[in-house]
Amino acid sequence: MNRRDAHPPPRPWHLAGHMVSRTFALLPLAIGTLALGMAIYHWVEGLGWPDAFLNAAMLLGGMGPVNPLHTTAGKWLAGFYALFAGVVFLILAGVMLAPVMHHVLQRFHLEREQKRTE
């Protein structure tokens, strides 16, 4: 039996389902990281909750802060939060895109295996 017959390629909706399930699994990490950043901006820098949300979300999304920082403690904490948010962003993107990369690598492997058997 050919390996391709044993494991048919997944449908696009199946792949999207894997991505969504992984997103829901890591949603607490994303929400917790956003809440930590909001707390830092609100209590250390004295920003209102909407501005704290904006700054934390922009850092978590990889864009950068919007409002200037005024306190030394706020600059240190925002710097550490930016490093942490960058790592979380990479983790979220990697875990969400893992099913797609697995599918692409599997497709290359199957094509290579087919050429050997021909």
Flag whether pLDDT at 3 surpasses 70: no
Q: Which range scores top for mean pLDDT: 14-23, 41-50, 86-95?
A: 41-50
pLDDT digits (tens, 9 = 90+) for 91-109: 988 888 888 888 788 777 7
Flag whether pLDDT at 113 surpasses 80: no
How many angstroms separate the Cα of 107 from the Cα of each of 2, 5, 12, 117?
14, 13, 13, 16
Flag whether pLDDT at 64 surpasses 60: yes
The whole-angstrom separation of Cα 26 and Cα 90 is 12
Do 69 and 47 meet the contact criterion of CB atoms below 8 Å apart?
no
- Average pLDDT on 61-83 reads 90
In the chain, what are the domains? 18-117 (1.10.287)
**DSSP 8-state symbol, 1:** -
Question: What was the pLDDT predicted at 17?
Answer: 80
- Average pLDDT on 71-97 reads 91
Flag whether pLDDT at 84 surpasses 70: yes
